Amino acid sequence: MTNATTSTDLTEAATLADATGGHERDPKGATVTLETRHLSRSIGQRLLVQDVSIQVSSEILAVVGPSGAGKSSFLRLLNRLDEPTSGTVLLGSMDYRSIAPQELRRRVGMVMQTAFLFPGTVSANISFGPRQRGDTLAPIEIASLLERVGLSGFADRDIGNLSGGEAQRVALARTLANRPEVLLLDEPTSALDQSSVREVEQLVLGIVRERRMTCVIVTHNREQAVRLSDRTMVMEAGRLVRIGATREVLHDV
């Protein structure tokens, strides 16, 4: 993997941020939590993400497009699970390459399509992130998180005894324990039955609203995008081809 980022790129990004007083703003005047600038990633001759520039602020942005469009590749770039070959991401006004990876992934949390939980109890999974930073979650804090995701009394449950929907809610609670500013969701309900899908959707909506978070969700389900997202971006062949209000964008696609 080749990283084409240079010190000049970092300087240019910092200069652009400084020119706006330290914070990027969207056309409505809200502070932009997350911004991509000409973000691209390629492997050899294969272009996965090509020159994507967006701003996201305290909202849910859906990412849709055909299989192989680069949706998940784009999402993974947002917290540097993969490295861009050009362009960058700004978290607030800060180029994310200047943030230590562990701190970046605390601030930009991600829930995958399949809940990858560690062997052991639900409580141990939820407290993992804070423990890595030397913090200890009190039992009452763990109980509060579990209550928020509809799993009261599950703290001592072994993760091997969870249903798919329960495991995904534990994964969400584990991410929330890190108090992220941005929540990334990669097809978080695609492996769930329909009743669990709607439960997880309502959880996401409630949590994003009450915490005023920025959320980016990759979904193949256009109805889900309509139910959840304020705006939708459409990707094809790694490129951003349209972005705007969800109902308008999906009506024309």
Rg over alpha carbons for the chain, rounded to the nearest Å, is 18
Per-residue pLDDT of 71-88, as tens digits, reads 999 999 999 999 999 999
Q: What's the structural domain count of the chain?
A: 1
Residue 154 phi, psi dihedral angles, 5° rounding: -95, 5
Range of the domain at 221: 7-252
Q: What is the domain-level CATH number for residue 244?
A: 3.40.50.300
pLDDT of residue 23: 36
CA dihedral over 59, 148, 185, 110, signed as positive or negative: positive
1 located within any domain: no
**Residue 50 lies inside a defined structural domain of this protein:** yes
Residue 154 lies in a domain: yes
Q: What is the pLDDT of residue 56?
A: 95
| Beta strand pairing call for 60-64 and 86-91 | unpaired
Residues of the chain with pLDDT under 50: 1-30
- Residue indicated by tokens 């492997």: 43
Whether residue 148 lies inside any domain: the answer is: yes
Question: Is residue 99 in some structural domain?
Answer: yes
Which DSSP helix (H) or strand (E) runs through 61?
Answer: strand 60-64
Which pLDDT score is estimated for 93? 86
Domain contains 32: yes
CB 49, CB 7: distance < 8 Å? no
- Angle 139-148/164-176 helices, nearest 10 degrees? 130
| Full-model pTM | 0.84
19: left (phi over 0), alpha (psi -120 to 50) or beta: alpha
Asked whether residue 161 is domain-assigned, the answer is yes
At 11 the pLDDT is: 40
